[in-house]
Amino acid sequence: MSKPTFKAKPMQVQVPASSANLGPGFDAFGLALAMHDRYVAQVLDDVVLDIDVTGEGADEVPRTDKNLLVKAMHKGFDFLGGRPKGLAIRALNVNPHGRGLGSSASAIIGGLVLARALVLNGEDQMNDIALLSLATDMEGHPDNVSAALFGGATISWFEMEKNKSSAHCVHLNVDPRIQAMAYIPSKALATSKARKMLPDSIPFADAVQNSRNASLMSHALTLRPDLLFTATEDFLHQSYRANAMPESFALVEKLRGAGVAAFISGAGPTVLALHTADQREVEELKLAGGKAFVATPLEIASRGAVLL
């Protein structure tokens, strides 16, 4: 492959937040949420990396090549044939970090989309399937990155192709009546810590019920919102993580006890509730989290990463 030709003008992308699992769909289901991070990047002729970050996590995000957005851009450039000498990057983070709302997926997808956009004919060399594969290599699982890339709801899986595991997904158009309420706590939780709490096996009866509910999910999301309460009940992973986020787990139980389709968003500790409530009911939902959570009403993002 010849060295890429870089575009001189800056490129800007916005990427939605995302929730994974949606209860029983562990490492499979993703849902894009209308809370967007924005990233701008421009190729420089000098050997320099100029990074400015504002918003969520700005004091914690590195301004070096250890920055996840930069890592994703470099991975994209490598795929396309080579890196530019320098980069200027501006990031406006809205998605809180370490809360189970796909902040790492947003950065990864944003970086790869920007890299592709900054290369002449980049889309001809890196289609969305190739981009998803690169993103999954970085994230480790395809659920959040699929939703961040394509929007709406996604179902992801792996297939073996040429002795290599390759990520795939299908996109679902979410019923427009469905909205989300995110209950975001102040404390973060590392995904790696949450994953270490999962058991090596679960009871067969739990696996059967979880399979049923996960199978129902696509129908509930697209056509039958009234089935969301059943479809979001998990028997696979949430209870095993309860000790790491007792307040979040208690809120899930409280909401579900009131008939609300609530679950831990991704690895947590954010709690997400899916609903078709009117404005009065939404105001009541906001109060359910109490002082331990910031209740944030969110639309479902029908589109994924978009160049602006």
Per-residue pLDDT tens over the stretch 192-208: 677 788 878 888 998 89
* Cis peptide bond prior to 4, omega within 30° of 0: no
Between 189 and 282, name the one with better pLDDT. 282
Distance CA 211, CA 209 (A): 5
pLDDT digits (tens, 9 = 90+) for 48-97: 999 999 999 888 899 999 999 999 999 999 999 999 999 999 999 999 99
Question: Lowest-pLDDT range, 105-119, 130-144, 149-163, 169-183?
Answer: 149-163
Cβ proximity of 218 and 228 under 8 Å? no
Q: What are the angstrom distances between the C-alpha of 228 and each of 1, 17, 190, 216, 280?
A: 48, 21, 27, 8, 20
Report helix angle 128-139 to 143-150, nearest 10: 140
Mean model confidence pLDDT for the chain: 93
Cβ proximity of 16 and 33 under 8 Å? yes
Name, in order, each residue with C-beta under 8 angstroms of 56's C-beta and a sequence gap of 6 or more.
93, 94, 95, 96, 97, 103
Global pTM value:
0.94
Distance CA 133, CA 225 (A): 31
Element (H, E) at 146: helix 143-150
Name, in order, each residue with C-beta under 8 angstroms of 50's C-beta and a sequence gap of 6 or more.
44, 86, 87, 88, 89
Q: Is it the case that residue 282 has pLDDT exceeding 80?
A: yes
Q: Is it the case that residue 112 has pLDDT exceeding 90?
A: yes
Q: What are the angstrom distances between the C-alpha of 178 and each of 62, 186, 217, 220, 227?
A: 37, 26, 13, 10, 12
pLDDT (mean) for 181-202: 82
pLDDT given at position 21: 95
pLDDT digits (tens, 9 = 90+) for 212-225: 999 999 999 999 99
The phi, psi pair for 24, rounded to 5°, reads -85, -10
Q: How confident is the model at residue 1 (pLDDT cuts 50, 70, 90)?
A: low
pLDDT given at position 76: 97
